[in-house]
Amino acid sequence: MSEANRKLQVSLQRRVRSWAPRARDITAWAGAAIGRRAAGGELGVRVVGSAESRRLNARYRGKDKPTNVLSFPPAPLPAGTPVAAARRVESCRPLGDLVICAQMVRAEAREQRKPLEAHWAHLVVHGALHLIGYDHEREAEAKRMERREIAVLRRLGFANPYRI
């Protein structure tokens, strides 16, 4: 089967008991954000509690507090590894990992008076866009990323997440 005909694969790990969307919903949301690049790719999604989110945020971003979503791009291939050979060994092309804190998502949805599922969709889309190069460090980048998020979420049937 050609890579273009293969679908996005999502590996979902739940480390908390609180509600989280089904893997198929997360797959649809991430796939809509990533677009054609999702074909034949694999995305890891780990749903965690605030303690794990805080540890990871402190370690990788230097911020000692939990956060809603963290995005980790795939590790680079070792030097000298032919890309074609590496792809034959792997069943899917790694796109990266998202770590989502269920407690933060729930608290933010309540605070912003948004449906919980809509906020989950927004954060999955947001994290997936980070994995394909979108960022919001500069104002122009932030506007570009917001426009993409709004468009993707609209196609998925969700309201503009920036209108609270």
Structural domain includes residue 163: no
Structural domain includes residue 160: no
Structural domain includes residue 162: no
Structural domain includes residue 55: yes
Residue 76: predicted pLDDT: 79
Residue 6: predicted pLDDT: 73
Structural domain includes residue 161: no
The reported pTM is 0.90
**Through-space distance between the first and last CA atoms of the chain, rounded to whole angstroms:** 44
pLDDT tens for residues 49-67? Answer: 999 999 999 999 999 999 9
Weakly modelled stretches of the chain, pLDDT under 70: 1-5, 77, 80-91
Structural domain includes residue 129: yes
Structural domain includes residue 63: yes
Q: Are 26 and 124 in contact (CB under 8 A)?
A: yes
Residue 1: predicted pLDDT: 43
Q: Are 52 and 103 in contact (CB under 8 A)?
A: no
Structural domain includes residue 98: yes
**Per the structure, how many domains does the chain have?**
1
Residue 2: predicted pLDDT: 46
Structural domain range at position 145: 3-155
Residue 88: predicted pLDDT: 47
Residue 81: predicted pLDDT: 63
Residues linked to residue 98 through DSSP beta bridges, in sequence order: 45, 71
Residue with tokens 């291939």: 77
Judging by DSSP bridges, how do beta strands 69-72 and 41-48 pair with one another?
A: unpaired
CATH (domain of 51): 3.40.390.30
